[in-house]
Structure 1
Amino acid sequence: MEELIKKALSRSNKVSQNSLIEKIIPVGGGCIHKAWCIHFQNGRRVFAKSNHIDNINMFKFERECLSVLKRFADKSYLCVPKTLDLVSYQNISIHFLEWIDLKQCQQNLLGKGLALLHKSSSESSQKDFGWEEEGFIGSNRQIRGWSSNWGEFFVNYRLRPQLIQAKSWGVDVNDYKDILIFLSSYLNDHHPKISIVHGDLWSGNCGSTNNSLGSLYDPASYWADREVDISMTKLFGGFNREFYKGYEEIWPLDKFSKDRTDIYNLYHLLNHANIFGGSYKENSLRILKDLRSRF
């Protein structure tokens, strides 16, 4: 694999910048792609992610997400890695990115940086919720499309596709038709501003740089209610009081935002159930049952 990466790099001056490779070291942590740290003789390092060429659209989606996040990120608080190149060679695709040294997360600046990202993007001229191209949420598809109605978008482009896919393990989307209709209206009555979101914000997809800035990576972005990011930070844990304090200092959340947390996290639980199965199925069904009793 290292030899394939070297040959792919020979096609890209954007990455090598005419410096010779010193070594290529595997990096752990991912479950979809293989990852590498490329050391050049001039001391520079580059991050590389590789996969089969059939999965190149995953990297194209990631490249676009990072580009949009970087456009709205405040560099005083938040670091988003820059895409250097996307190269296909033989049967592999490789996404080359700026290398960022990470340390134990200093979460106050991460929270402030996320709030500023949400806030600045909400002040742009974006008219609708959604995303232009089909994306990915983990290894699963994230449906493309647009809507000016937030509730309709989230139900039709996020929840419903996952519920349809859940037919393979016994879920009938028609059993939840009444809930989906209600949620569509309920979420739209919230009247959220349109913000760019990370879209897959668990603790493994963010961190802090050596100079204590927050950092975001591995996104599944779209234009959405900012609360989808905050909700996911509460799904698997890993975010402390300083994170939420930093966020609230910049852009306080609606006092009813907690009422929507389970609704937004249902998307991720269903996605995990569809990919991994196990207890994610039970948790998805529990939230669906709770939603029926609430509404």
Structure 2
Amino acid sequence: MEKSLQRVLLQVGDQSSLKHYRPVSGGDINESFYVETEEGNYFIKKNKNVPSHFFQAEADGLAAIDRTNTVHVPKVLHYDQPEQGEEAYLVMDWVEPGFKDASIELGHKVALMHQHTSERYGLGFSTFVGSLDQPNDWTNTWVDYYREFRLKPQLNNGIENHHIKGERRKKLESLIERLGEWIPKYPNSSLLHGDLWSGNYMISQEGTPFLIDPSILYGDPAFELAFTELFGGFSHDFYHAYREVHSFGDHYEETKPLYQLFYLLVHLNLFGESYGSSVDRILKKYVKETI
């Protein structure tokens, strides 16, 4: 392992001796390490048997957020683009974690990030949500993007792995067909982190909030906010601060379960039937019966 880490550190120009490294918890997709050398401290992710753009997508997402000059992200120093079966590494500056409450600053800065917009919806390259490939393309309406690039791929994934079948499949297919009844065509198209739950932000030792592990896209800010409410981890102060800068939108409460549905389908396809009842509850809310 030491030789692999030293090889990767050479890619960022650090030729000094490796002093210490240790595993870091926090994710189930990659192996992660804190690495200390004579020249600096690093956060390094490792994975194997991943697509060649696996770490590039993360690096590009962090760079897009950084260009907004709103919320902080770790600086990416190097990423591998592996051939099939090769080990791959992503190297970033180490951010020393702290324990201060930065909810107000995080709310303000996420809202400011959402003020960076596009004329279209989606993204020009594929990303990942967890370990699942997330196809993207640019579309002219939000409802088309959400149908074609969010719900349909999860439907097809669920059919293939047998998590979506029977009445659940009928209701989901009906909901996707009728999606335009509830999802707006032309909401603001904001830069979204795309996977914003409590595990994907951190507070530095200085009390500065950082976003990590993005799966970016341009889309309805309500899509982002709905996910923050799904598994908790965001305080009242976060939402109050967000509203001081940016509106939730008049459609938020009506569309929130539909936006949470995507993330529940992802969890159903990744982790199994423990998420099935939550999926079914949302489908029942919007699709009363099927033929």
- TM-score normalised by length of structure 1: 0.89
**Are 1:142 and 2:137 matched, yes or no?**
no
Aligned position for 1:118:
114
> Would you identify which runs of 4 or more consecutive aligned residues in structure 1 move more than 4 Å?
172-175
Instruction: Indicate how the Cα distance of structure 1 residues 239 and 15 shifts in structure 2: closer, same or farther if over 3 A, else same.
Output: farther
Equivalent residues, number:
282
Offset of residue 133 of structure 1: 1.6
In structure 2, C-alpha distance between the alignment counterparts of 1:27 and 1:273, rounded to whole Å? 26
Counterpart amino acid of 2:153? P
CA displacement, residues 76-107 of structure 1 (integer Å, 9 cap, x when unaligned): xx211111011368931100012112223421
Any idea what SS the aligned residue of 1:19 has? coil
Offset of residue 114 of structure 1: 0.2
CA-atom RMSD in angstroms: 2.0
Aligned position for 1:250:
245
**Are 1:171 and 2:165 matched, yes or no?**
yes
Per mean C-alpha deviation after superposition, the further-off stretch among 218-227 and 285-294 is 285-294
In structure 2, C-alpha distance between the alignment counterparts of 1:227 and 1:141, rounded to whole Å? 22
In structure 1, C-alpha distance between the alignment counterparts of 2:283 and 2:218, rounded to whole Å? 25
Instruction: Indicate how the Cα distance of structure 1 residues 215 and 269 shifts in structure 2: closer, same or farther if over 3 A, else same.
Output: same
Any idea what SS the aligned residue of 2:46 has? strand
In structure 2, C-alpha distance between the alignment counterparts of 1:20 and 1:65, rounded to whole Å? 31
**Are 1:57 and 2:53 matched, yes or no?**
yes
Offset of residue 171 of structure 1: 2.5
In structure 2, C-alpha distance between the alignment counterparts of 1:225 and 1:100, rounded to whole Å? 30
Task: Write out aligned runs for 1:173-188 (5 A).
Answer: 173=169, 175-188=171-184
In structure 1, C-alpha distance between the alignment counterparts of 2:177 and 2:119, rounded to whole Å? 23
In structure 2, C-alpha distance between the alignment counterparts of 1:80 and 1:200, rounded to whole Å? 14
In structure 2, C-alpha distance between the alignment counterparts of 1:244 and 1:208, rounded to whole Å? 17
Aligned position for 1:108:
104
Counterpart amino acid of 1:271? V
Offset of residue 210 of structure 1: 2.1
Any idea what SS the aligned residue of 1:210 has? coil
Aligned position for 1:154:
146
Offset of residue 255 of structure 1: 3.6
Gaps of 5+ in 1: none
Offset of residue 175 of structure 1: 4.5
Offset of residue 212 of structure 1: 2.0
Offset of residue 247 of structure 1: 0.5
Task: Write out aligned runs for 1:192-271 (5 A).
Answer: 192-271=187-266
Aligned position for 1:4:
4
Per mean C-alpha deviation after superposition, the further-off stretch among 61-70 and 169-178 is 169-178
CA displacement, residues 136-168 of structure 1 (integer Å, 9 cap, x when unaligned): 100111112121110111011101111121112
